[in-house]
Structure 1
Amino acid sequence: MSGESSTADDGDPLAAVVARGRAETAADTLREEGVYDDDRSVRPFGEDAVALPVTAPPERTAVREVVRQEAEPRLRNLDDHLRERGWTAEERERAPSSWAVIGTVVLVDIGDAPRPDEVGEALLDLHANADTVLARHGIDGTQREPDVAVIAGAGDTETIHTEHGTRYALDLAEVMFSPGNKAERKRMGDVVAEGDRVFDMFAGVGYFTLPMARAGARVTAAEINPASFRYLLENAKLNDVHQRVDLYRADCRDVADGVEADRIVMGYYDAHEYLDAALSALEPGGIVHMHEATPESLVYDRPVDRLTAAAADRDRAVKILDRRKVKGYSEGVAHVVVDARVE
């Protein structure tokens, strides 16, 4: 960390300068230090950096420098920014209520909000570390391809997103990334033991493969989408786990015959359709993590019944270890996960 620099009075508040791509991670560590100032806004700093508001110079977070900035009250939320732009109360009611910052990209369900370009510009003002806003319209097809459109900013949809120490390089115009699965991605890194043999049947860019491999597991990962597989390869090297992963651009059913797994991850909403392949690869006493989009009225009965029936067809017994909701999938439908040991 370099010393303070300033053209403002010494009484002006402090800000820590970091590279734009590190802003999200640095803000988290500054909060852990107890020096992040939530009452002020993040502001651009030069062409490739941002100034994060702090109450004192950080001692543990690496920053380029600490500067003084003219005091500027924080517009705390999207509603504040849209009000500044002259939006009426009725218009603001139709604005998005949630969005996600993925690296340097803001991903938002725009709904029926008026003037999406103004929403995008307001989100860029709210998140100074971001440079592009994407409106998300859904995921298409078996290869889970995103339907998105640039509504503000530079239009650079490729970024690196950091989560609990795992780095994900991806292009949000080409591959899906679900912000709501953050806790589940962390959890999978926590539940594996070093040396576990894991089969990730729907690996994507490495959502679960990377945290598990970083925890010491040996992971066989299959991904059929060529764009996702390209980033899966890159991310294995980016996280220095390439020696602990075997990666296949293939249908997971074609990979399963050669796999002997202690643990299987089925991170796909229609995972039940692949249970035969999963159980053929799962060693006796192994654990399966089966995802499903389930109507609320059938949570958790349907996924448990499907898993139990598939195991019974192979004369195998199932012990349910855990059941949990990850997030809402659509109105009346939940994204759930069932963890089970299969003898």
Structure 2
Amino acid sequence: MESQDCTDLAVVVAKPRTESVIDALDTEGVYDADRSVQPWDAESVAVPVTAPPETVEVREVVRQVGERRLRNLADHLRQRGWSEAEIDAAPSSWAAIGSVVLVELGETPRPAAVGEALLALHGEADTVLARNGIDGVHREPDVTVIAGEGDTETVHTEHGTEYALDLAEVMFSPGNKAERARMGERVQAGERVLDMFAGIGYFTLPMARAGAEVTAVEHNPTAFRYLVENTMRNGVDGLVHPYRADCRDVVEAGIDGGPVDRVVMGHYEASEPDGDGGYAYLDHALDALAPGGVVHVHETTPEALVFERPVERLTAAAVAAGRSVEVLDTRRVKSHSEGVAHVVVDARIE
């Protein structure tokens, strides 16, 4: 089949700005999602647009003449000679996180070829990682480099928040993007917040950027190092008080300023019973929360118990503490595994 020539617009930007520029172009309505980002020179990329942007700062607007780009992974794999049966077994989803593409391969044939195709599809990326799972008490990722330079450290930009991280050392869930943005919208400037499982600043950073004062606790030393770096990177180090510790120890020692207005429990197992009739983390969350404060409880819940189980656990912990619960919102964040959902319950505790 003869290829058809076409003329397409693109904007040239520095590689580190790729994600933030795509977000801004998408908001303006001129990002062309049907075409892929392409390398421009050693330091920059060409991001496809449908019209010159009016609100986004770019280096230049260019015209790219030639064959229309391959639009998706299937197109790239066909070009590499894959059969339709092989393409059906290829990954259906992946995530570009800064300069790294993170993908779950499953039963995919020829992983290295998939990695090269993903690099061709994402011109801003230089490494492709296969995600194999999460291990250990610190929830450290198990990943394998399948293509590219192998540099797993990157800076990911999301709704204006910058996250520096090493994807071989700390976990990052692309499926939590909307929830991270939501937490930045929920808080008010001047609120006092406890983030019990802060990680690299997943929820801490959007909340602090909104003006909240956040006590951020993280036990994993690598994640904690990035948490501190990210507070400075985002200009919120004056609003974030980081602790490398067990969050229960921080609560027991007493949070500076007394009980907080809001507690974020972003760990999947934060609502688990402790085996002695209480709850290992819920009890401490309630101890830290001022009357009328709000708690956000994350949980991985079997589909048959979605919302019912986390609400029951939260209510039982509150009753034991002589307090009452008003459920404000319940949300499905994403599918966690077959038959299991990642959910969050927002509740006011009187």
TM-score, with structure 2 as normaliser: 0.92
Distance in 1 of aligned mates of 2:323 and 2:30: 54
The answer as to 2:261 corresponding to 1:262 is yes
Matches within 5 A, 1:53-132: 53-132=48-127
> Where does structure 2 lack aligned partners over 5 or more consecutive residues?
1-5, 272-279
Distance in 1 of aligned mates of 2:30 and 2:286: 50
Aligned residues: 333
Distance in 2 of aligned mates of 1:108 and 1:310: 38
The answer as to 2:289 corresponding to 1:294 is no
1:306 paired residue number: 313
Distance in 1 of aligned mates of 2:224 and 2:316: 32
1:271 paired residue number: 270
Distance in 2 of aligned mates of 1:65 and 1:220: 42
* CA 1:197–1:148: 2 relative to 1, 3 Å: same
Per-residue CA distance 1:50-94 (angstroms, 9 max, x = gap): 111234333321112222322331211111111111111111111
Q: Tell me the secondary structure at the aligned position of residue 281 of structure 2.
A: helix
Q: Tell me the secondary structure at the aligned position of residue 195 of structure 1.
A: coil
Q: Tell me the secondary structure at the aligned position of residue 156 of structure 1.
A: coil
* Matching residue within 200, 209, 215 for 2:195: 200
94-103 or 28-37, which deviates more: 28-37
Distance in 2 of aligned mates of 1:134 and 1:56: 33
1:280 paired residue number: 287
Per-residue CA distance 1:142-191 (angstroms, 9 max, x = gap): 21101111101111111111111111010101000100000100100001
202-211 or 139-148, which deviates more: 139-148
Distance in 1 of aligned mates of 2:246 and 2:217: 7
Q: Tell me the secondary structure at the aligned position of residue 67 of structure 2.
A: coil
* CA 1:220–1:73: 2 relative to 1, 3 Å: same
Per-residue CA distance 1:112-132 (angstroms, 9 max, x = gap): 100100001101111111111
* CA 1:12–1:78: 2 relative to 1, 3 Å: closer
Q: Give the aligned residue type for 1:306.
A: R
* Matching residue within 228, 239, 258 for 1:244: 239
Per-residue CA distance 1:235-292 (angstroms, 9 max, x = gap): 0000100001110000000111212211000000101131111111111111100000
1:3 paired residue number: none
Q: Tell me the secondary structure at the aligned position of residue 181 of structure 1.
A: helix
1:200–1:265: 8 Å Cα contact kept in structure 2? yes
Distance in 2 of aligned mates of 1:26 and 1:63: 8
Q: Tell me the secondary structure at the aligned position of residue 182 of structure 1.
A: helix
Q: Give the aligned residue type for 2:286.
A: L
Distance in 1 of aligned mates of 2:32 and 2:185: 31
Distance in 2 of aligned mates of 1:219 and 1:187: 16
Distance in 1 of aligned mates of 2:19 and 2:108: 27
2:37 paired residue number: 42
Distance in 1 of aligned mates of 2:34 and 2:212: 42
1:205–1:232: 8 Å Cα contact kept in structure 2? yes
* CA 1:38–1:305: 2 relative to 1, 3 Å: closer
Distance in 1 of aligned mates of 2:323 and 2:98: 43
* Matching residue within 317, 325, 336 for 1:329: 336
1:328–1:334: 8 Å Cα contact kept in structure 2? yes
Q: Tell me the secondary structure at the aligned position of residue 271 of structure 1.
A: coil
* Matching residue within 147, 155, 163 for 2:150: 155
Q: Tell me the secondary structure at the aligned position of residue 138 of structure 1.
A: strand
Q: Give the aligned residue type for 1:303.
A: P
* Alpha-carbon shift at residue 312 of structure 1 (Å): 1.0
Distance in 2 of aligned mates of 1:225 and 1:36: 38
